[in-house]
RNA sequence: GGGUUGGUAGCUCAAUGGUAGAGCAGUGCCCUUUUAAGGCAUUGGUUCUGGGUUCGAGUCCCAGCCAACCCA
């Protein structure tokens, strides 16, 4: 159903499509055997070698009888780009094929077979003997030099961003490598990857607004999980000593530079360990990722002009400091002040604490603004107030704090780690306090599981999106998600 | 939710309230080793949408949509 006439550019591409069909060639081809991805073809490249490659035409340099084109895919890395030059000449492919070739455009997928040679300018090139049309592109590609600049197009039509912007491809290749390397790291240490429910009758394990859905056959509402924690702990009860889950969580809250409604979280639990052992594990893991994927422990973030805007130093050992000591480093007598005076002092420092109801929230706001946001290099904040963390063990000497760390890097909370609370009676009390009497939010099945005995354990979470931001220098979570959430738009 | 900025050709961007332009892409011609190829010529516009002010609006005003950033 096309009521409006196609623009001239689209009409010309349709005409070429028809011309290819009229010549008896299917413009949307079939299986094509290649010598691998284009990076792999480049690795095999030798003068005189027979080569087969397939990819998208990304550049065309028309020299009259000699035609040079670039064939690309996203396989490139380092000194083996996902791009190879091909040379097409009527004498090599014949007049009939050359007439088909005239109907190709930048953006089309083709397969070629030919022979390797080096041009006068030293470029490895395939001298094409035969080519096959694999997919005609009916829409023009983005600007070859500037790529896609429009953030809306980058996010809504990520494929165009990936085609046109190598720096975006690089970020996503790093993300893929980070996730793969995390799995390998944990599996090497005996952790088992498990899958637990994403649809839960009670959305527990964190304090966040869940997405609601409905199961028709059961006639009941369900929630998309905000955390897998309570199910992973059931596995500790079930006797699995080392488990992890690396998958999506969903939170029905604001969208920002640092928040997407669905985000990827790693949670890992280690029976008989504690939060300090987990901190060591996380420190080792993140340094391993930086060294294997980012080339070292100094991570540079750059702006659009390639100027270094900040440097994050991951050199070990990472600093560890108690929450209360950090607060005292900002306001030495903070803990001697009354709640009312604390509010006043916070406001004097330019903080807006109107949203903070309880006293501990005022302190937490001070922490976030004056410490967390200013911390670039890794800092384990330990012994946080117990009100902030209802699922962790209270400290033996000071029951007002819990045996936890919050790892802050790049001004953001990257990873929490706990000595997990395994006393079912205390756990019930703490959850009841947190729910403020809304007992329907209590996960009774989880509490029952604890009553059968959960081993003391260390647990961690790592926000994978924020970790990738830190390691790749992305300033927005949207730059590390293939398809960040966007409001729907009328489509053509 | 509040504030700021932006939305112009397929893409990247211009345009004191006074005839909507450039580069790339496209089209045509020239060129047998180019690589942001080059040269000559040329096509292409509901200026996000809807109102308003004005002799005249891409530009000013109002409302809306979408996006980015900041704040909560």
Nearest Cα to Cα of residue A387 among A407, A420, A360: A360
Distance CA A454, CA A240 (A): 10
A161-318+377-479: CATH topology: BirA Bifunctional Protein; domain 2 (3.30.930)
Q: What is the DSSP string of A29-75?
A: ------SSSHHHHHHH--TT-EEEEEEEEEEEEEETTEEEEEEE-S-
Q: Is the CB of A253 under 7 A from strand B?
A: no
Predicted pLDDT at A306: 78
pLDDT in tens, chain A (492 residues): 333 456 889 999 999 999 999 999 999 999 999 999 999 999 999 999 999 999 999 999 999 999 999 999 999 876 778 999 999 999 999 999 999 999 999 999 999 999 999 999 999 999 999 999 999 999 999 999 999 999 999 999 999 999 999 999 999 999 999 999 999 999 999 999 999 999 999 999 998 999 999 999 999 999 999 999 999 999 999 999 999 999 999 999 999 999 999 999 999 999 999 999 999 999 999 999 999 999 999 999 988 777 888 999 999 999 999 999 999 999 999 999 999 999 999 999 989 888 888 999 999 999 999 999 999 999 999 999 999 998 999 999 999 999 999 999 999 999 999 999 999 999 999 998 887 767 677 899 999 999 999 999 999 999 999 999 999 999 999 999 999 999 987 543
Q: What is the CA radius of gyration of chain A?
A: 28
What are the residues whose beta carbons fall under 8 Å from the beta carbon of A201, sequence distance 6 or more? A220, A222, A223
Chain B: nucleotides under 7 Å from a protein CB?
A: 1, 9-13, 23-27, 30-38, 43-44, 46, 65-72
Q: Is the CB of A311 under 7 A from strand B?
A: no
**Interatomic CA–C1' length for residue A198 and nucleotide B49, angstroms:** 40
Predicted pLDDT at A392: 95
Q: Which nucleotide is nearest to A150 (CA to C1')?
A: B67
Q: Domain spanning A8-141: which superfamily?
A: Nucleic acid-binding proteins (2.40.50.140)
Phi, psi of A385 (to 5 degrees): -60, 140
Distance CA A279, CA A285 (A): 10
Structure tokens at A366: 């001070």
Q: Is the CB of A18 under 7 A from strand B?
A: no
Q: Is the CB of A455 under 7 A from strand B?
A: no
Q: Is the CB of A439 under 7 A from strand B?
A: no
Q: Is the CB of A98 under 7 A from strand B?
A: no
Predicted pLDDT at A5: 57
Q: Is the CB of A187 under 7 A from strand B?
A: no
Distance CA A164, CA A92 (A): 30
Domain(s) labelled CATH 3.30.930.10 in chain A stretch across 161-318+377-479
Predicted pLDDT at A280: 98
- Tell me if A431 sits within 8 A of A392, measured CB to CB: no
- Residue A374 carries which DSSP code? G
Residue in this structure with the two tokens 């000699």, named with its chain if needed: A66
Distance CA A96, CA A23 (A): 9
- Residue A206 carries which DSSP code? S
- Backbone conformation region of residue A44, classed left if phi is above 0, alpha if psi is from -120 to 50, else beta: alpha
What are the residues whose beta carbons fall under 8 Å from the beta carbon of A277, sequence distance 6 or more? A270, A458
Predicted pLDDT at A492: 38
Report which residue is nearest nucleotide B24 when distances run from CA to C1': A143
Distance CA A402, CA A391 (A): 9
What are the residues whose beta carbons fall under 8 Å from the beta carbon of A357, sequence distance 6 or more? none
Partners of A249 in beta bridges: A263
Domain(s) labelled CATH 2.40.50.140 in chain A stretch across 8-141
Phi, psi of A321 (to 5 degrees): -150, 145
Query: Long-range contacts: A285-291, Cβ < 8 Å, 24+?
Result: A285/A182, A285/A185, A285/A186, A285/A462, A286/A314, A286/A378, A286/A409, A286/A414, A286/A467, A287/A314, A287/A316, A288/A181, A288/A185, A289/A178, A289/A181, A289/A182, A289/A185, A289/A467, A289/A471, A290/A314, A290/A471
């Amino acid at each position: 159903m096309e009521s409006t006439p196609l623009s001239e550019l689209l009409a010309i591409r349709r005409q070429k499509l028809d011309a290819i069909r009229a010549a008896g060639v299917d413009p949307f081809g079939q299986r094509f055997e290649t010598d691998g991805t284009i990076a792999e073809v480049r690795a095999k490249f030798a003068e005189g070698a027979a080569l087969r490659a397939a990819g998208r035409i990304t550049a065309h340099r028309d020299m009259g009888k000699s035609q040079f084109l670039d064939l690309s895919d996203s396989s490139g890395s380092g000194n083996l780009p996902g791009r190879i030059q091909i040379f097409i000449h009527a004498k090599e492919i014949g007049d009939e094929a050359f007439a088909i070739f005239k109907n190709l455009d930048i953006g089309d997928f083709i397969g070629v077979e030919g022979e390797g040679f080096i041009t006068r300018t030293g470029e490895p090139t395939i001298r094409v003997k035969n080519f096959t049309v694999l997919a005609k592109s009916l829409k023009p590609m983005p600007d070859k030099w500037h790529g896609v600049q429009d953030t809306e197009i980058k996010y809504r039509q990520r494929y165009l961003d990936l085609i046109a912007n190598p720096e975006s491809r690089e970020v996503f290749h790093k993300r893929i490598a980070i996730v793969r390397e995390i799995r390998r790291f944990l599996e090497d240490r005996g952790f088992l990857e498990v899958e637990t429910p994403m649809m839960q009758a009670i959305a527990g394990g964190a304090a966040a607004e869940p997405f609601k859905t409905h199961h028709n056959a059961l006639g009941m509402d369900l929630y998309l999980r905000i955390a897998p924690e309570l199910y992973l702990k059931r596995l500790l009860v079930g006797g699995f000593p080392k488990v992890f889950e690396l998958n999506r969580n969903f939170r029905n809250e604001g969208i920002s530079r640092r928040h997407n409604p669905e985000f990827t979280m790693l949670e890992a639990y280690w029976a008989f360990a504690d939060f300090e052992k987990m901190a060591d594990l996380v420190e080792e893991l993140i340094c391993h990722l930086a060294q294997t994927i980012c080339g070292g422990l100094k991570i540079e973030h750059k702006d659009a002009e390639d100027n270094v805007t900040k440097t994050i130093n991951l050199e070990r050992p990472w600093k560890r400091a108690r929450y209360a000591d950090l607060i005292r480093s900002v306001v030495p007598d903070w803990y001697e002040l009354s709640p009312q005076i604390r509010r006043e002092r916070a406001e004097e420092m330019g903080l807006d604490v109107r949203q903070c109801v309880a006293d501990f929230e005022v302190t937490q706001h001070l922490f976030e603004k004056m410490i967390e946001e200013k911390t670039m290099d890794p800092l384990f904040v330990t012994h946080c107030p117990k009100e902030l963390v209802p699922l962790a063990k209270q400290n033996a000497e000071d029951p007002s704090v819990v045996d936890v760390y919050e790892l802050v890097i790049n001004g953001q909370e990257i990873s929490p780690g706990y000595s997990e609370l395994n006393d079912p009676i205390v756990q019930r009390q703490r959850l009841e306090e947190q729910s403020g009497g809304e007992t329907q939010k209590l996960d009774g099945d989880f509490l029952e599981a604890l009553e059968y005995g959960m081993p003391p354990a260390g647990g961690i979470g790592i926000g994978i999106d924020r970790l990738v931001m830190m390691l790749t220098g992305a300033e927005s979570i949207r730059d590390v998600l293939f398809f960040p959430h966007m409001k729907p738009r009328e489509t053509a």
